[in-house]
A and B are shown apart, each in its own frame.
Chain A
Amino acid sequence: MLKQIEGSHGVAEAVALARPEVICAYPISPQTHIVEALGEMVKTGALSPCEFINVESEFAAMSVAIGASAAGARTYTATASQGLLFMVEAVYNAAGLGLPIVMTVANRAIGAPINIWNDHTDAMSQRDCGWIQLFAETNQEALDLHIQAFRLAEELSLPVMVCMDGFILTHAYERMDVPEQALVDAYLPPYEPRQVLDPREPVSIGAMVGPEAFTEVRYLAHAKQMSAIERIPQLAQEFRAVFGRDSGGLVRGYRLEDAETVVVALGSVLGTIKDTVDELRDRGVKIGVLGITSFRPFPLAAVRAALAGAKRFVVLEKSLAVGIGGIVATNVRLALDGLALKGYTIVAGLGGRAITRASLHRVFGEAIADRLEAVHFLDLQRERVARVLEREEAVRRSGPIAEGILKDLGTVASRIG
C-alpha cells in the first residue's frame, strides 16, 4: 500500500511486519521515531505477541537483545551515533555468539564535538564487528532491507545492521510502499534458531575459547559473512519475485556503460549524486555511479567488476578515518588491486554538512581533469582552519577548538543549507 509517511514510520511498519517478538528501546536521535512507533504498536496490540522493553542504556538494549535472541525470540533494536558506541562491547558479543538480531542504525556523527546530524562515522566504526551491514539509499529501500535483514540474519545466524541516513531518511516524508502482511509472511519464515536456551535441551552458550580453537571460531564467522556475498543477491532476487521491487543486493550500478569515471558511495547521497551525474551525462561526460548496499560483507568482486572498465573512481564517503582518509575508499582500493585506475577520496557530509549538486559538479569536474587531491574534504572552509592554526601558533592557551571555530563563524541561524 502506497503511503506518504516518515522514513522512520515506514521502517517501523516493516519491522512490525517481520513479527519481532522482543524489541529493546533506548532513546537517541535520530532513531527514536522508529522505536516510538513500534512501542505504540505493541501497546495497542497491533503488534502481538511482542515484548517492548524500555532499557536504561544502549549497552542494556543490546544485552537484552542478546538474551532474548539466545532464548529463541526474533529480536530487534535501533540506535545511532554515541548509542552505537556505547553498546559496542555487546555489538561484538552478539556477532561472536551468532545471534541473528536486526538493528537499525540511523546514521549520525560521533562526537566530540557533539553533533546530532548525519554522517556514517557510527556504522563505519563497527565495520569489523562481525555484523552484516546494509546501507539504504531511499526510505523504500530501508523498509525493504529490514524485511530482507531478518531473513538473512536468521538463515546465517548472524546479526544484521540496516543503516539509514539519520534525519535525511529517518525524518523525510516520502512515498513508501508498505507491503501486505501475507507477502512478508511468504518471504520470511518463522525463526528457527540454531542454538537456544531451553531446559528441554540444555546448552552452554558463550563458553571461553582459548588459543586452541579461537582462530577456528573466528574463521567460521568470516566464512559465514563471505557466504552472505552469495546469499544477499539471491535474497534480493527472491524479494523481487515476491514484492516486485528491486531492493538490496550487494552493489547497484547507475549509468556505468562506457563510464570513464565512476563515483562510489553509500546511502541516501546516491540520489543527489545520480541527479548530478545525469546533468553531466547530458553534457557528454562519461560518468557513472556505483552504490554499495552491502558494506559488510564487502563485495570485492562486484566492485572490481563494476569499476574495471573505468579510468578513475571517486569514492564519496560520509566518514573519515583520521590519519589516513577514507574508509570506504580503502576497501574499494583493495577491490581494484592490480588495476591501473586513478582513485580519489572525497570526504563529504560530515556532521550533516549538506552535499549539494553545485559542490559535486565542482569536485567531479576536478576529478575528471585529474586535478583533485587524493583525499579531498568537500566544501572545507580552509580559512577557518587557518585561523585556528594561526591562533594555536600564536598562543599556547588557544582554547577549545570547537568554541574557537564557532566564534569565528558567528551566527549560523541565518544561513540556509
Chain B
Amino acid sequence: MFQIRIHGRGGQGVVTAAEMLSIAAFLQGKHAQAVPSFGSERTGAPVVAYCRIADQTIRLREPIMEPDAIIIQDPTLLHQVEVFGGLKQDGYILINTNRSFEELGVGDFVRGWHAERLCTVPATEIAMKHLGRPLPNAVLLGGFAAISSVIELASVHAAISEKFSGKVAEANIAAASAAFEYVLREMKEAADHA
C-alpha cells in the first residue's frame, strides 16, 4: 500500500487533489481511498487530505500516520504544521515553491535521502499561467506523477477530466503536464549532480 498525505490551505483544493489522485489510481485498476482530514476549516486554514493506493481492497480507516509521500501545496505551512510527521525515510516530498529545500530550511531534514524523490515545483506560478488562478492542486498531481511511479500522467489527466469540465479541465491538464515536465527536468538534474 502506498500512502500519500497532502497538506495545504482551505481553498487550495487539497481535498479535491486527494480525490483526483484516488480517481487516477482507480483508472489504473488499483484500489484507492481518499479522505479529507474532516475539518470545518475555512479558507486559508491548514487542511490535510489523505490518499491510499493499493492492489487489494483497503480496509484501513486511520489517518495516514506514516506516509510514503507528502505533497505540500503551501510552503508557509512548513513552519506551522508538522507536515513531515511520520514520513518514512526516503519518502517522496513534493513542495509547491520556487525555492530549494535548503532555502526553505528543510535541507538538514532530508540530508542523505534519494535526491530524485525530493522535488519542488512552482505550481502556483504554473497555475496562474494556465488557469489564471492560484490553484496548485491538479498541477502538483502532474508533478507527483513524475516523481513517483504510482500514477501516470495520463491517469491524472483523466482524473482531472472527471472532476472538471470544459476550459477548466483543459487548463488544469495543460498545467499538470507542465509540472510533470518541470519535475522530470529537476529529477534529471538531481540525478546528474549525484
Query: Is B45 interfacial (CB-CB < 8 Å)?
Result: yes
Query: Is B101 interfacial (CB-CB < 8 Å)?
Result: no
Given contacts A174-B32, A272-B59, A272-B62, 6 further A-B contacts (CB under 8 A): A4-B22, A172-B34, A271-B58, A271-B59, A271-B61, A414-B82
| Contact A171–B31 (Cβ < 8 Å) | no
C-alpha gap A75/B5 in the complex (Å)? 40
In the assembled complex, the CB of A145 is this many whole angstroms from the nearest CB of chain B, namely 18
Query: Is A144 interfacial (CB-CB < 8 Å)?
Result: no
With A117-B38, A171-B38, A352-B38 in contact, do A417 and B32 touch (Cβ < 8 Å)? no
Query: Is B122 interfacial (CB-CB < 8 Å)?
Result: no
| Contact B38–A272 (Cβ < 8 Å) | no
In the assembled complex, the CB of A37 is this many whole angstroms from the nearest CB of chain B, namely 15
Query: Is A29 interfacial (CB-CB < 8 Å)?
Result: yes
A86 contacts which chain B residues (CB < 8 A)? Answer: none
| Contact A167–B38 (Cβ < 8 Å) | yes
| Contact B23–A4 (Cβ < 8 Å) | yes
Query: Is B132 interfacial (CB-CB < 8 Å)?
Result: no
The digit string for B33-72, where 1 denotes a CB below 8 A from any CB of A, is: 1111010100001101000000000111111010000000
Query: Is A388 interfacial (CB-CB < 8 Å)?
Result: no
Query: Is B125 interfacial (CB-CB < 8 Å)?
Result: no
The digit string for A216-249, where 1 denotes a CB below 8 A from any CB of B, is: 0000000000000000000000000000000000
The contact size tier of chain A is 20 to 34
Query: Is A354 interfacial (CB-CB < 8 Å)?
Result: yes
Query: Is A213 interfacial (CB-CB < 8 Å)?
Result: no
| Contact B62–A173 (Cβ < 8 Å) | no
Closest to A2 in B: B26
Query: Is B86 interfacial (CB-CB < 8 Å)?
Result: yes
A394 contacts which chain B residues (CB < 8 A)? Answer: none
Query: Is A274 interfacial (CB-CB < 8 Å)?
Result: yes
| Contact A413–B46 (Cβ < 8 Å) | yes
10 contacts between A and B (CB under 8 A): A2-B26, A4-B22, A4-B23, A6-B19, A168-B38, A174-B34, A356-B65, A413-B46, A415-B82, A416-B85
Query: Is B81 interfacial (CB-CB < 8 Å)?
Result: yes
Contact of A272 among B34, B48, B60 (CB under 8 A): B60
| Contact B35–A413 (Cβ < 8 Å) | no
| Contact A413–B81 (Cβ < 8 Å) | yes
Closest to A167 in B: B38
B22 contacts which chain A residues (CB < 8 A)? Answer: 4, 173-174
Contact of B36 among A4, A171, A272 (CB under 8 A): A171
B86 contacts which chain A residues (CB < 8 A)? Answer: 416
Query: Is A357 interfacial (CB-CB < 8 Å)?
Result: yes
Query: Is A269 interfacial (CB-CB < 8 Å)?
Result: yes
B62 contacts which chain A residues (CB < 8 A)? Answer: 272, 354-357, 417
> What is the interface size of chain B, counting residues whose CB is below 8 A from a CB of the partner?
32
Within 8 A of B (CB), among A250-282: 268-272, 274-275
Query: Is B80 interfacial (CB-CB < 8 Å)?
Result: yes
The digit string for A353-393, where 1 denotes a CB below 8 A from any CB of B, is: 01111100000000000000000000000000000000000
In the assembled complex, the CB of B5 is this many whole angstroms from the nearest CB of chain A, namely 8
C-alpha gap A257/B34 in the complex (Å)? 33
Closest to B34 in A: A173
C-alpha gap A355/B22 in the complex (Å)? 22
Within 8 A of B (CB), among A15-38: 29-30
Query: Is A127 interfacial (CB-CB < 8 Å)?
Result: no
B35 contacts which chain A residues (CB < 8 A)? Answer: 167-168, 171-173
In the assembled complex, the CB of A107 is this many whole angstroms from the nearest CB of chain B, namely 13
C-alpha gap A323/B1 in the complex (Å)? 42
C-alpha gap A272/B58 in the complex (Å)? 9
With A6-B19, A175-B31 in contact, do A275 and B65 touch (Cβ < 8 Å)? no
C-alpha gap A414/B79 in the complex (Å)? 9
Query: Is A116 interfacial (CB-CB < 8 Å)?
Result: yes
A417 contacts which chain B residues (CB < 8 A)? Answer: 62-63, 65
With A173-B34, A416-B85 in contact, do A116 and B23 touch (Cβ < 8 Å)? no
Identify the 7 closest CB pairs spanning chains A and B, nearest first: A271-B59, A4-B26, A417-B63, A173-B34, A167-B38, A356-B62, A172-B35
C-alpha gap A355/B65 in the complex (Å)? 11
B80 contacts which chain A residues (CB < 8 A)? Answer: 413-414
C-alpha gap A414/B22 in the complex (Å)? 25
C-alpha gap A161/B62 in the complex (Å)? 25
B18 contacts which chain A residues (CB < 8 A)? Answer: 173
| Contact B33–A414 (Cβ < 8 Å) | no
